[in-house]
Amino acid sequence: HGTASSQFSYKSPQEWSKQFPTCGGRRQSPINIDSRNSQIKEYPPIRFNGYGKAPRSMNVTNDGHTVEITTTWANQEVPTISGGPLNGPYEFEEVHFHWGNNNHVGSEHTINGRQFSLEMHVVHFRKSYGTFTEALKHGDGIAVLGYIFFGTSNSDNNEGIRRLLRSTAPQQAFGPGESELISPFPLTFFNLDFTRKGYYTYLGSLTTPPCTESVIWLVPKSIRNIDSRELAAFRSFPLDNEDDHDYRPVRPLNGRSVFSVRG
């Protein structure tokens, strides 16, 4: 596994900028979201399109830094989100997760200084840019939904996470480079709706090298619950460099605005 993306470790995120200069930029993610310093803003409602349909195929991969789900779709059936701060539709790309080695760390974004146990990223690119790679060249090219979870003994029922973990469980270790086709299910199984409590939005970056500054972040305000046993399953995925977590510490805001959108 010798790709550029494997050349970083979560043990030394302060060193990423040596190899990937943008990681030292002024529009980096994640950030601490200070609810009292966020500006209330009104946007058109967020719309999820096509998320209720199962993809043609679904793949789970450990890329050495996270476990991610990628999909293939019949023509014209790729799900999109639109509305909110987004101009036009953004196509679904993949889902992946960030976790820590105990329940008090793991999320990438923090809320009023508080870190949670896991963050699920649903990644999209602006459809008008044609491809994900092309979209990365634009400041509004990528939209990531960052769902925050806290570990408890009684989780919300998240069928998507349950199926993901069930599919990887049989192996003793679902390690870097491992990949597996799973039986396709609709992305709505991840309980993506967040209209009830609203969300925060700000302009940031990819949270991994090369830390490209092309992301419109949307962070739902409601914190979800995840079963501690499910968190243990995430922690059991071996990562590159024997990393025991895959969250990046928060980066400075550098004068950016964080907007609060009510539900």
63 belongs to the binding site for ligand SG4 (CB under 6 A): yes
Residue 250 has what DSSP assignment? Answer: P
Q: Which residues contact 103 (CB under 8 A, 6 or more apart)?
A: 117, 150, 151, 228, 231
Residue 227 has what DSSP assignment? Answer: E
Part of the chain binding ligand SG4 (CB under 6 A), chosen from 35-43, 154-162, 180-188, 204-212? 204-212
Residue 124 appears among annotated catalytic residues: no
207 belongs to the binding site for ligand SG4 (CB under 6 A): yes
Part of the chain binding Zn ion (CB under 5 A), chosen from 109-117, 121-129, 234-242, 250-258? 121-129
Do 182 and 54 meet the contact criterion of CB atoms below 8 Å apart? no
62 belongs to the binding site for ligand SG4 (CB under 6 A): no
178 belongs to the binding site for ligand SG4 (CB under 6 A): no
Q: Count of residues binding ligand SG4 (CB under 6 A)?
A: 12
In this structure, what are the phi and psi dihedrals at residue 102, rounded to the nearest 5 degrees? -155, 170
* Closest distance to ligand SG4 from the beta carbon of 69 (Å): 10
Strand partners, 110: 32
Map residue 162 onto helix, strand or coil.
helix
- Distance, CA of 215 to chain centre: 11
27 belongs to the binding site for ligand SG4 (CB under 6 A): no
In this structure, what are the phi and psi dihedrals at residue 42, rounded to the nearest 5 degrees? -105, 135
145 belongs to the binding site for ligand SG4 (CB under 6 A): no
Part of the chain binding Zn ion (CB under 5 A), chosen from 116-124, 182-190, 196-204, 247-255? 116-124
Catalytic residue, chosen from 65, 96, 98, 121, is 65
What's the CA gap between 8 and 210, in Å, rounded?
Answer: 10
Q: Which does 233 bind (CB under 5 to 8 A by kind): Zn ion, ligand SG4, none?
A: none
Of 238, 25, 136, nearest to 16 by C-alpha is: 25
Q: Which residues bind Zn ion (CB under 5 A)?
A: 121
Residues labelled catalytic: 65
Q: Which residues bind ligand SG4 (CB under 6 A)?
A: 63, 65-66, 68, 94, 96, 121, 123, 144, 206-208
